[in-house]
């Protein structure tokens, strides 16, 4: 039991540090034009948009989408629309979005490659995908542990894969991706289609 308590305390400390990183604001506050947020959840990021002219959001869970719409009403963005949809089938016209945002979402998307294909489709030329995601640990020991835990973790954490190789997937799917910041397994990424 002491080891379990130590692990919980360590995990809590890491998450507190990640929140002090102020990642939500850093991810979205300077985005301009038309923005699409994938997997908006209850809308925690919506209060951090400062410069966007329109923000569209998708969320597969109807209850969370409703909460996000309520959060959107408190935001300072002129237009926010929340759609019930998945990343693999975006309900938007081709080349209609300036920026796509994904925060802690790609770990749970059923088909990341199809989601990236859809994001590429809706982005305007020069558009950018902005992500904060947790990715497969870099050290072999931790990567192996994440792979062993993932089948159980997915059941309790909404399909979250602790061992997703999101950066590698971006590269193999033809995206120029660069890491802007890293905190442990959490990375802030900007990517553009090649």
Q: Which CATH number does the domain housing residue 154 bear? A: 3.40.50.150
Evaluate whether residue 11 is within a structural domain.
no
Q: Residue 12 falls within a domain, yes or no?
A: no
pLDDT digits (tens, 9 = 90+) for 93-143: 999 999 999 999 998 899 999 999 999 999 999 999 999 988 777 778 887
Better-predicted residue by pLDDT, 135 or 91: 91
Rounded mean pLDDT of 83-102? 98
Helix (H) or strand (E) holding 127: strand 123-134
pLDDT for residue 16 is more than 60: no
Q: Which two tokens stand for residue 182?
A: 């890293």
Q: What percent of the chain has pLDDT over 90?
A: 57
- The verdict on residue 2 lying in a domain is no
What values do phi and psi take at 67, rounded to 5? -65, -40
Q: Is the pLDDT of residue 90 over 90?
A: yes
For the chain, give the mean pLDDT. 86
Residue of 18, 103, 6 whose CA lies nearest to 58: 103
What the block records as the tokens of 118 is 């859809």
pTM above 0.95, yes or no: no
Looking at the chain, the whole-number percentage of residues with pLDDT higher than 70 is 88
State the Cα–Cα distance between residues 15 and 18, nearest whole angstrom. 5
The answer to whether position 8 is within a domain reads no
CA 108 to CA 105: how far, in whole Å?
Answer: 6
10 inside domain: no
Q: Look at residue 56 and tell me if it is in a domain.
A: yes
In a domain, 178, yes or no: yes
pLDDT of residue 148: 85
DSSP letters, 92-126, are S-TT-EEEEEEES-TTT-S-HHHHHHHHHHHEEEE
Average pLDDT over residues 167-183: 94
Residue 57 lies in a domain: yes
Give residue 134's domain range.
21-193
Least confident stretch, 37-41, 50-54, 63-67, 154-158: 154-158
Structural domains counted in the chain = 1
Q: Which tokens sit at 2?
A: 């002491």
Higher confidence at residue 194 or residue 145? 194
Q: How confident is the model at residue 3 (pLDDT cuts 50, 70, 90)?
A: very low
């Amino acid at each position: 039991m002491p080891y379990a308590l130590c692990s919980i305390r360590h995990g809590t400390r890491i998450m507190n540090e990640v929140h002090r990183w102020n990642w939500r604001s850093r991810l979205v506050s300077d985005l301009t034009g038309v923005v699409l947020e994938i997997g908006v959840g209850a809308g925690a990021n919506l209060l951090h948009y400062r410069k966007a002219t329109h923000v569209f959001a998708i969320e597969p869970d109807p209850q969370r989408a409703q909460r996000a719409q309520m959060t959107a009403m408190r935001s300072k963005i002129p237009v926010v629309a929340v759609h019930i949809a998945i990343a693999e089938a975006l309900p938007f016209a081709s080349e209609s979005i300036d920026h796509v945002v994904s925060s802690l979402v790609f770990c749970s998307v059923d088909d990341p490659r199809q989601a990236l294909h859809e994001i590429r489709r809706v982005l305007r030329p020069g558009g950018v995908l902005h992500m904060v995601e947790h990715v497969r640990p870099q050290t072999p020991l931790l990567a192996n542990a994440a792979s062993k835990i993932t089948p159980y973790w997915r059941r309790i954490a909404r399909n979250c894969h602790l061992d997703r190789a999101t950066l590698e997937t971006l590269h193999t799917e033809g995206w120029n991706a660069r890491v802007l910041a890293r905190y442990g397994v959490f990375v802030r990424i900007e990517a553009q289609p090649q």
